[in-house]
Amino acid sequence: MSAPGPTRPDAPAGPPRWLLVLLAAGISLILAALLLIALDAAGVESIDQVGFFGVVVVAALAGGWLTRLLAPRLPSVRRPPRS
């Protein structure tokens, strides 16, 4: 009698991780664009590399935070079992 092979743990509930990463990237991109538009509306003519890096970091952190808030509310994706 052979020992049973390794079992695959149950898939976590909720959307797949790659979908959450894409959602966070998209939200971050939108937030970065909105921040740059807000700076332009405030009369800022140009920003240096450090300022642009700051905008990107703030947008990435805010996008990740929003994704963590939205993830539990998203429907789970179920795939049919493999044969």
The answer to whether residue 62 is domain-embedded is yes
Condensed to tens digits (0 to 9), the pLDDT of residues 11-31 reads 566 788 999 999 999 999 999
Domain that holds residue 26: 17-73
Condensed to tens digits (0 to 9), the pLDDT of residues 23-77 reads 999 999 999 999 999 999 999 999 999 999 999 999 999 999 999 999 999 888 7
What's the confidence (pLDDT) of residue 62?
Answer: 97
The answer to whether residue 45 is domain-embedded is yes
pTM as predicted: 0.74
The answer to whether residue 61 is domain-embedded is yes
Phi, psi of 12 (to 5 degrees): -65, 150
What's the confidence (pLDDT) of residue 80?
Answer: 74
The answer to whether residue 82 is domain-embedded is no
How far is residue 33's CA from residue 61's CA, in Å, rounded to a whole number?
A: 14
Which DSSP category does 38 fall into? Answer: H
Tell me how many domains the chain contains: 1
